[in-house]
Amino acid sequence: MLCLFDLDGTLIDSEPGITACIRHALAKLDVPVPADLRPWIGPPLRHSFAPLLGDDAVRVETAVDYYHERFAVLGWREHAVYPGVAAAIERLQAAGHRLAVVTSKPVRHAAPILESLSFGKAFEKLYGPDPSSAHCEKATMIAAALADFGTAPDAAAMIGDRCYDIEGAVANGVAGIGVLWGFGSREELQQAGAQALASDPAHLADLLTA
């Protein structure tokens, strides 16, 4: 099976780096920081910045630039691997599954993170969105992965913690498996059409090797 993994909230807890970079960007623009930044983890940055910046396209782009400015130097290091993830990846690889990452992060930010992980080499490919895009491109990236690997939809699964991962899976006829240790809720994942929910990484490996 082709197992496509989201990065933030699925393989790594990236909240510290992401929220610090959001605060950095908003401080640069002298804009108050929302009390809860967890909902920002998953959607495209432009989508989240726009309402705070009056949908001013120029200010939104400036905020995104400030975010990336800090992330490139510090933010990408500010994360932790979820307990049990490394063992789950090892199990999937040993079972003969092929693995790739499909993330909303630009490749230039996701690549060094993946390379820093002890199990990073298990992933054959990394898919990220066009850096200039304001849209979630999970469906497009999943389609690209299916084509690259020559895999039929019924022989693939998209694993992630937010509705965007599951919606991308549904759009491609791929099994969407939600993980409950990330930033999305059980309700969000179920409403998006998740075929299964994993309570922890060992449970996820069980689901994918059954």
Q: Catalytic amino acids?
A: 6
- Would you state the torsion angle of the CA atoms of residues 189, 118, 41, 209, taken in this order, to the nearest 10 degrees? -10
Strand order in the sheet with 196-198: 123-127, 98-102, 2-5, 156-160, 175-179, 196-198
Structural element, H or E, at residue 98: strand 98-102
Q: Work out whether the CA dihedral 59, 60, 63, 64 comes out positive or negative.
A: negative
Residue 102 parent element (H or E): strand 98-102
CA distance 79 to 82: 9
Question: Are the C-beta atoms of 14 and 7 separated by less than 8 Å?
Answer: yes
Report the C-alpha gap between 32 and 26 in whole angstroms: 7
